[in-house]
Amino acid sequence: MNLSSSYRWWLAAGIVYAAFLLQHFFGILQLPAWHWGMAIAYALWAALALGAIARSWPTLTPYGWRPLVIFLGAILSAIDIFAGPGPASAQRIDAWMTALIGIAIVTILARFTPRKWSKAWFGQEVQPGSRPYSSR
């Protein structure tokens, strides 16, 4: 793990997630109830987490980074949304699914990132649209 090049990405992802938790538990910001805001917020977190994971474990390749981001995002968003007072309602499940949509969109778009962007985002060049064991 190359911590020297990934700590900023981990720190940014941690700050974004901490903001989610602070908002959820303490309601620091009075945000309007815009349902797709959850997808956008977790898409931002997923982009940062994907950059951190790619820099920390480059040998996993994109085929390991993307599932790891989805798995971590599912767990962390569930903790954020389902923890706290009140029953697990259909609204919480909808919010969780919306967060997962945001995470999924980022991981899908990461597959088609131009090479110049992948160098900045992942810390290395990744061929867009490449598949394991393909002739491309």
Residue 136 has pLDDT above 60, yes or no: no
The average pLDDT across 3-25 equals 83
Burial class (CB in 10 A: 0-12, 13-18, 19+), 87: exposed
Burial class (CB in 10 A: 0-12, 13-18, 19+), 12: middle
The average pLDDT across 65-79 equals 94
The average pLDDT across 57-65 equals 88
More confident residue, 130 or 126: 126
Residue 58 structure tokens: 């480059």
pLDDT digits (tens, 9 = 90+) for 102-129: 999 999 998 888 888 888 888 777 765 5
pLDDT band at 80 (very low <50, low <70, confident <90, very high): confident
pLDDT of 58: 86
pLDDT of 99: 93
pLDDT of 3: 54
HSE value, Cβ hemisphere, 13 Å, CA-based, for 57: 12
pLDDT of 115: 81
